[in-house]
């Protein structure tokens, strides 16, 4: 059967105390709903439906190109009513998987198991074993362990409240049967809502096989209702991603102090120190070492690179054996060759640096093309912006740039050229020659430093 995924995302989330709709609250830098959409897409569904309500246009605007079929739930009348809104766009021969926009940690592997247990005449549901099932609907089984129905907390008897198996709300069910059962739902319950869970009892009555799948971990089915729960899920997500990195072969100085918000690929013998943030897509080659307090965002880092503490790298590519930092910033559009050194308080922006070149101290290189074997002296700046236009500085192979240089773009520094310390270079520096601009040093005889008056000294 083709798969149709329906994600329920219409809740207001009043306990969040936020103007941002609940499903747009951030987890690991992405909206809660974004995590669920990603998990759903991993299943390769034929269609993906999101039922939205509170903050609707804001929710839709957050996913402009996601290929989602949107269904509006104008009134919040329960989970059964929410699913009804999506069903007109679901074909009868599809299998419907119902997910929740505020349950972000569900694993694709668990969902595949749930899907495999359902079929044209069978449905499945995900349950969870809890030490305290307060707030969850209870799974009611008969003496043979067969599921009979789900009872919501407010409608449960004292005996049913002692049941530890809770309902996650996640089900896989044939669309044709689901449409029939949804049409029979009634709201004769404590909350006067149309419960999706009532279809379980209907399935049992119709002699449709109902297969329960117990979630491997509680974390997979946890939802978010307030900022405390959001923080708890953030911690669980961090721990999960740290575990994934370690299983991939990375050594983490402290798994509790790494924040992985990226799709990460790691080579062999990678070491990552404490308080590192990874975002976007990050590729780390063999034997890469990442120091503490480093931010990596959308970067490719070659073998044997060392990123020293407190450096920030984004949307850039590093060749093998580069040394970066401490306190370096590599901004978007930069590409470094092999063995490049970018030292403390050096900033690169949209700059290409050739093999073996070095800028070790207090330098800004923006919109520059630097050749191989170049040495950039401390305090050098490429003056690339005139207030309107960005211009390029080209530094050829083997050049030596003296300390405190201002290279006013557009300008070319020739092959094996040298520029003197303290120079402002506005014209081409020829190959193999020394170029400098330096005013004549003078000493002013008879000059005295201004002195404070007695009155000023007393202040």
Spatial CB neighbours of 192, under 8 Å, sequence gap ≥ 6: none
Rounded to whole angstroms, the Cα distance separating 267 from 287 reads 7
The closest of 453, 441, 15, 454 to 225, measured between CA atoms, is: 15
What are the backbone dihedrals phi and psi of residue 182, each rounded to the nearest 5 degrees, phi first?
-60, -35
Active site residue 237: no
Catalytic residue among 35, 54, 237, 361: 361
Tell me the helix, strand and coil percentages in the chain, rounded to 5. Answer: 20, 35, 45
Residue 259, phi-psi category: left (phi > 0), alpha (psi -120 to 50), beta (remainder): beta
Three-state DSSP class for residue 166: strand
What are the backbone dihedrals phi and psi of residue 66, each rounded to the nearest 5 degrees, phi first?
-90, 0
Cβ atoms of 49 and 6 closer than 8 Å: yes
Three-state DSSP class for residue 81: helix
What are the backbone dihedrals phi and psi of residue 178, each rounded to the nearest 5 degrees, phi first?
-60, -45
Q: For residue 52, list its beta bridge partners.
A: 9, 72
**Four-CA torsion 302, 306, 311, 312, nearest 10 degrees:** 10
Spatial CB neighbours of 120, under 8 Å, sequence gap ≥ 6: 1, 174
Rounded to whole angstroms, the Cα distance separating 213 from 234 reads 25
Render 203-270 in DSSP notation, one character per residue.
Answer: HHHTT-EEEEEE-S-GGGG----SHHHHHHHHHHHHHHHHHHHHHTT-EES-GGGEEEEEEEEE-TT-
Three-state DSSP class for residue 114: helix
Q: Please name the helix (run of DSSP H) or strand (run of DSSP E) that holds residue 199, with its range, or none.
A: helix 198-205
What are the backbone dihedrals phi and psi of residue 371, each rounded to the nearest 5 degrees, phi first?
-75, -165
- Residues marked active site are found at 361
């Amino acid at each position: 059967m083709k798969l149709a995924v329906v994600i329920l995302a219409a809740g207001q989330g009043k306990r969040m105390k936020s103007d941002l709709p609940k499903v747009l609250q951030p987890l690991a830098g992405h909206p809660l709903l974004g995590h669920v959409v990603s998990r759903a897409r991993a299943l390769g569904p034929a269609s993906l439906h999101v039922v939205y309500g509170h903050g609707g246009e804001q929710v839709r605007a957050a996913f402009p190109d996601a290929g989602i079929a949107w269904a509006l739930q104008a009134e919040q009348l329960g989970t059964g009513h929410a699913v009804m809104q999506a069903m007109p766009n679901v074909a009868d021969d599809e299998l419907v998987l119902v997910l929740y926009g505020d349950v972000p940690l569900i694993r694709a592997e668990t969902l595949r198991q749930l899907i495999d247990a359902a079929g044209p005449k069978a449905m499945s549901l995900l349950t969870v074993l809890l030490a305290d099932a307060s707030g969850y609907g209870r799974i009611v089984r008969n003496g043979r362990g067969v599921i009979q129905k789900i009872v919501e907390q407010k409608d449960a008897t004292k005996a049913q409240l002692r049941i530890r198996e809770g309902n996650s709300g996640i089900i896989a069910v044939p669309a044709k049967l689901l449409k029939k059962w949804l049409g029979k739902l009634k709201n004769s319950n404590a909350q006067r809502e149309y419960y999706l869970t009532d279809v379980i009892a209907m399935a049992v009555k119709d002699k449709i096989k109902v297969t329960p799948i117990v979630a491997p971990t509680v974390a997979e089915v946890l939802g978010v209702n307030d900022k405390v729960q959001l923080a708890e899920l953030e911690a669980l997500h961090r721990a999960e991603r740290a575990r994934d990195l370690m299983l991939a072969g990375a050594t983490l100085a402290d798994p509790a102090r790494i924040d992985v918000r990226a799709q990460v690929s790691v080579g062999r013998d990678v070491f990552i120190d404490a308080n590192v943030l990874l975002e976007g897509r990050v590729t780390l080659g063999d034997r890469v070492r990442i120091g503490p307090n480093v931010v990596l965002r959308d970067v490719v880092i070659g073998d044997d690179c060392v990123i020293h503490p407190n450096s920030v790298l984004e949307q850039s590519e590093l060749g093998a054996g580069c040394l970066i930092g401490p306190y370096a910033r590599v901004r978007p559009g930069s590409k470094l060759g092999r063995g490049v050194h970018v030292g403390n308080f050096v900033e690169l922006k949209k700059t290409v640096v050739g093999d073996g070149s070095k800028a070790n101290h207090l330098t800004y290189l923006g919109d520059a093309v630097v050749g191989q074997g170049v040495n950039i002296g401390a305090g050098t700046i490429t003056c690339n912006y005139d207030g309107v236009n960005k211009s390029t500085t080209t530094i050829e192979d083997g050049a030596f740039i003296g300390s405190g240089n201002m290279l006013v773009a557009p300008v070319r520094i020739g092959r094996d050229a040298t520029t003197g310390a303290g120079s402002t270079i506005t014209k081409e520096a020829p190959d193999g020659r020394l170029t400098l601009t330096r005013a004549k040093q003078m000493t002013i005889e008879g000059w005295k430093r201004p002195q404070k008056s007695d009155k000023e000294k007393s202040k």
